[in-house]
Amino acid sequence: MKVLMFGWEYPPHVFGGLATANYGITEGLHVQGDVETILCLPKPFGDEDHSFSHIVAMNCVPIAYRNVDYNRVKERIGNLMDPDLYFRLRNHIYADFNYMQVDDLGCMSFAGGYPANLNDEINNYSIIAGVVARTFDFDIIHAHDWLTYPAGIHAKQVSGKPLCIHVHATDFDRSRGHVNPTVYGIEKDGMDHADCIMCVSDLTRRTVIEEYHQDPHKVFTVHNAVYPLNPQAAALPRPNHLNKERIVTFLGRITMQKGPEYFVEAANMVLHRTRNIRFCMAGSGDMMDDMIFLAAERGIADRFHFPGFMHGNDVYKCLKDSDVYVMPSVSEPFGISPLEAMECGTPTIISKQSGCAEILHNCIKVDYWDTHALADAIYSICHNESLFGYLSEEGKREVAGITWEKVGAWIRELYLRTLGWK
């Protein structure tokens, strides 16, 4: 089975949980043994892992004909694309796109991530998808998140092959209900054209059915998973903070979806009971300055740290250095970071309004708005060694069974059903 997959993020140049999930899914599909994935990315860097998929650099796909020789192509993009593939793609240019901002190879550039002209990049990506879909042989299309839905629709229209879309989040999650009509329109259009809709949680599935008016029979829950710790991360020690200051950590985007203000308010309550705890808010986002000011207003700035964005093994070091991990998200379609924290042996508190709460049991769950309950949970873990030890050990044991291989097997099953092969 051949899958044409459209993604926006991918490790090691990770922008968020979407990259983690994309990689995990390609790995999970690969181990099934009979699934070949062609993964299209807007701006790969050349150091991505190609073990589980054939990566197509969309910024190296020509959409306007240029009379260039092999050596020039190799010199310009050889680290990202086989020149033979470039010429093969060039043979499938389907319209005159010379009016677009193309380079000397007839290709379009991407900023990567989420630039100010994001809508333009989404549109350009979908144009390029038309060349890709005309070039490759495949059985089914898989588009990740709303940014790639237009590309998935275009590929379906070109090929006649069924379209699966993967809903990692909706704008109802990102905006706390203040939905951007443009984003909503793109999301709904993708869902309307999809033959199969995969949602990362039952919570997200309900949103897709109720808010986007989709047929429940084509909407399925596909929970995320977690990678085993790499050797370097596994080797990182866990400091023993017994009779020392404890560390409580929030790690993620500092945006209203993630509920950072509830973390600060709970920290304030805890620090009125003890001063032997430090709080860490790791990450970046549009609410970071507000949270710095809020910590100062509450008089707890001396107990609060903002180390900024983290990636790679720095994430795992931060989690292992922590005695408690907190995810107080207002609306979290899934949330992979709690699984990573539990994998590191860090007791974890999550909001009941998160998708991962559907599958995790060896953690503490609170309503995101109940700062009193959150504060009590933080205090209890920090001062009850038995509770700390239980959540640490049982949490590790639980997430060890939540694997991308199982996710890949379920996605493969949905592919077969969508294709009518089963």
**Domain layout of the chain by residue ranges:** 2-225+404-419, 231-399
Q: Are 248 and 383 in contact (CB under 8 A)?
A: no
What sign does the dihedral 316-169-401-54 (CA atoms) show?
Answer: negative
Q: Is the peptide bond before 12 cis (omega within 30 degrees of 0)?
A: yes
Q: Look at the domain 231-399 and name its fold.
A: Rossmann fold (3.40.50)
**For position 15, what pLDDT does the model report?**
65
Higher pLDDT, 12 or 261: 261
Asked whether the predicted pLDDT for residue 176 surpasses 80, the reply is no
Q: Whole-angstrom Cα distance, residue 69 to residue 76? A: 11
What's the mean pLDDT in 99-120?
94
**For position 41, what pLDDT does the model report?**
97
Q: Are 151 and 14 in contact (CB under 8 A)?
A: no
What's the mean pLDDT in 60-78?
97
**For position 400, what pLDDT does the model report?**
95
What's the mean pLDDT in 9-21?
85
* Torsion angle of C-alpha atoms 248, 251, 255, 257, degrees rounded to 10: -90
* Torsion angle of C-alpha atoms 296, 299, 304, 309, degrees rounded to 10: -20
Share of the chain above pLDDT 70, in %: 100
**For position 420, what pLDDT does the model report?**
97
Asked whether the predicted pLDDT for residue 213 surpasses 90, the reply is yes
Residues 130, 131, 136: CA angle, nearest 5 degrees: 105
**For position 239, what pLDDT does the model report?**
87
What's the mean pLDDT in 355-366?
97
Same fold? 2-225+404-419, 231-399: yes
- pTM (2 decimals)? 0.92
* Torsion angle of C-alpha atoms 384, 369, 335, 124, degrees rounded to 10: -160
**For position 167, what pLDDT does the model report?**
97
Q: Which CATH architecture has domain 2-225+404-419?
A: 3-Layer(aba) Sandwich (3.40)
- As given in the structure block, the two tokens for residue 320 are 């292992």
- Average model confidence (pLDDT) across the chain: 95
Higher pLDDT, 16 or 106: 106
pLDDT tens track for 390-417: 999 999 999 999 999 999 999 999 999 9
Q: Whole-angstrom Cα distance, residue 233 to residue 314? A: 9
Q: Whole-angstrom Cα distance, residue 293 to residue 297? A: 6
Share of the chain above pLDDT 90, in %: 90
Give residue 221's pLDDT band: very low, low, confident or very high (50, 70, 90): very high
Alpha helix positions (H), 136-216: 149-159, 171-174, 181-193, 202-211
Give residue 331's pLDDT band: very low, low, confident or very high (50, 70, 90): confident
What SS3 class is residue 142?
Answer: strand
Q: Whole-angstrom Cα distance, residue 23 to residue 35? A: 15
Q: Whole-angstrom Cα distance, residue 250 to residue 31? A: 33
Give residue 199's pLDDT band: very low, low, confident or very high (50, 70, 90): very high
**For position 241, what pLDDT does the model report?**
77
**For position 169, what pLDDT does the model report?**
93
235: Cα within 13 Å, side-chain hemisphere: 3
Asked whether the predicted pLDDT for residue 113 surpasses 90, the reply is no
